[in-house]
Amino acid sequence: MDENIVIETSGLTKSYGKTLAVDHISFEVKRGEIFGFLGPNGAGKTTTIRMLTGLSRPTEGSARVLRFSIKSEIAQAKKHIGVVPELSNLYDELSAFDNLLFAAQLYGVPRRHRRERADKLLKMFGLYERRNQSFGTLSRGMKRALTIAAALVHSPELLFLDEPTVGLDVVAARSLRSLISSLRQQGTTIFLTTHYLEEADLLCDRIALIVKGRIVQTDSPNRLKARVEENPPTEISFTDAAPSLVEDLLQMLPGLQVTALDHRVRIYGGVVADVLETVIQLAKKKGIGIESVTSLRPSLEDAFVKITGLAPAVMAMEKGGRR
Amino acid sequence: MWRDDLRGICYIALKDMKTYYLKPPAISWGIIFPLAWILAFYLRNPRNFEDLVPGLIAMTVLFSTTALEAVVINFELRIGALERLLLAPINLSAVLLGKLLGGVIFGLLMATLVSLGTIISLGLLQVRVLDLAAVLLLSVFVFSALGTLICVSVKEVFEAQTLANLPRFLMVFLCGVFYPISAMPAPLQSIAYLLPLTYTVEGIERAFSGTGAAVSAYHLLVLAIFIVIFTLPAMRLLRRRFA
């Protein structure tokens, strides 16, 4: 196994009775990258993490995590991996500090380094002032941050993050994302599952799209988006509405498609420079100003919809069918 | 690896002591319930209370250990914290033994408290301390293991407490806690000798008998066998839960 490959799976499969939760998936995660597992709820993301971290045995196939087989050498692998489950499951009764101390004891951090390491993480995650507060009394965002801190207490090479921002408010989610980015900068490889498209787009170096237990595509966010970039539209926003604007544009730009909404028009196809020249001429003729011009790039959502054939609403579904 | 496991067992037990010993289900079923029974029997018949002491100590061991296991295992199964332990670089059997040890220590504390209380207040100074210690030590392991077996098969604390009541009350009434086994019909006597509490009660009776028969190796061996009988399937059940 290549030194730079930290996870390698081959035909990894998990079934529960007749239900196939993960269906012969094969992928590699490179050292130092944030690898995203993107898919709707029930796609098999958590089941994959459970297999890779030794919580569940694969029905078929094989995988190596940090060169250790997950079937026969998972105990060795566990020393070098950190796992943040979807639920923040530290101990409500213990203080923030004691929770980190217990994690350090469990992972065999040398006695002389435990307190120092716990304090360092509490400072890094902005929780030092709350070190003596019990976990149960912390806010949801703080609980999430402390759960991540507990997974880092033994300085793992590889961190598994299962839906890290689920249930967090916008501010807490943003701060957590910046924290995840900073972990990558410090050299930690991150395996992240999410059903939030923007999150995957913002954080991940590469993304595997997983639907119904199967990986349908693996690539960088930009390359995935490039797959739907055949005809990016140009959107022009005018200062005022003008009569027969769309008709005039259609006449002046034969062969192109033009749609309008309020003061904005979208022009599909053509060379952007030519399109702009025509639009400026027409605006002058009609005596209206141009507020903004935007070349609309496809989003990861567009790519996801095109590649998987699923509606974006499916991704917005939380567990239990909530939106 | 065994060092990792040993370290894991110790720290899990210590964490459980810190986290769960004062949880309401542990206090109500593990402390208040046996103490209330002891007090009720004492108030009803203080003169013959001495005869009931071995049975009541055995009952205290049974309730305190099984009640605590329900708390240390099912609280964590419910919130997913048990998975956190299984993610650590220690074996599943070490996690289970750590959980078992939490019940063992709680049971020992309660058994010591009740034993010392009755020995001092009733002046039962003829007790063979080493015999009593050996029976109690093995018994807390037996009933913690029984509690573990029951608890890993359900999820909620109340389910575990309810399910545990079945063997608890069966044993309380059949194993000589309040009523001598020798006075029971023969078929019930046969059942009694299939249940571990019988050997705990008999062992404690012998320890308190002073000049009578001492605790036999047979009693201790049977209790040791019950530890294995309950622990192995508990491990298998937990492993299957995370298969």
pLDDT for A253-306, tens place per residue? 888 888 887 788 888 878 888 888 998 988 888 888 898 888 777 778 878 877
Answer yes or no: do A76 and B89 touch at CB < 8 A.
yes
What confidence score (pLDDT) does residue A78 get?
93
Copy the structure tokens of residue B234.
């508990």
Note the pLDDT of residue A322. Answer: 44
What confidence score (pLDDT) does residue A191 get? 96
ipTM of this model? 0.88
In this complex, is the C-beta atom of A231 within 8 Å of any C-beta atom belonging to chain B?
A: no
For the segment B33-54, the average pLDDT, to the nearest whole number, is 88
pLDDT score, position A321: 47
Q: In the numeric block, which tokens belong to residue A224?
A: 């995935």
Residues with Cβ within 8 Å of B145's Cβ and at least 6 positions away in sequence, in order, are: B100, B226, B227, B230, B231, B234
Q: How far is CA A68 from CA A193, A232, B154, in A?
A: 22, 45, 33
- Cα–Cα dist A170/B140, whole Å: 51
- What's the pLDDT score for residue A172? 80
pLDDT for the residue numbered A230: 65
Question: Nearest-CA residue of chain B relative to A99?
Answer: B15
Report the gap between the CA of A86 and the closest CA in chain B (Å): 10
Closest Cα in chain A to B85: A106
- Residue numbers of chain A with a pLDDT score lower than 70: 1, 229-231, 311-323
CA angle B89, B95, B101 (to 5 degrees): 140
pLDDT digits (tens, 9 = 90+) for B153-212: 988 888 888 899 999 999 999 999 988 899 999 999 999 999 999 999 999 999 998 777
Kindly list the domain boundaries of chain A, sorted by start residue. 5-226, 239-290
Domain boundaries, chain B: 2-241
pTM of the full predicted structure?
0.83
Contacts of B12 in chain A (CB under 8 A): 106
Q: Residue A320 has what pLDDT?
A: 47
Closest residue to A94, CB basis, from B12, B19, B83: B19
- Helices (DSSP H) in B21-125: which residue ranges? 24-27, 33-44, 49-79, 81-87, 92-122
> By the 8 A CB rule, do A163 and A195 touch?
yes
Around Cβ A14, how many Cβ atoms within 10 Å? 22
CATH superfamily placement of domain A5-226: P-loop containing nucleotide triphosphate hydrolases (3.40.50.300)
Task: Provide the percentage of residues in chain B whose pLDDT is more than 90.
Answer: 67
Chain B residues near any Cβ of chain A (below 8 Å): 1, 4, 7-8, 11-12, 15, 18-20, 79-81, 83-91, 242-243
Calculate how close chain A gets to B7, using CA atoms only, in Å: 7
CB-neighbour burial class of residue B49 (10 A; exposed 0-12, middle 13-18, buried 19+): middle
pLDDT of residue A231: 65
The chain-wide mean pLDDT, for chain B, equals 92
Q: Quick one: pLDDT at residue A283?
A: 87
Q: Which two tokens stand for residue A284?
A: 């002058």
CA distance A233 to chain B (A): 48
A94–B89 C-beta distance less than 8 A: no
Place of tokens 């701060």: A175
Residue A295 tokens read as 């070349």
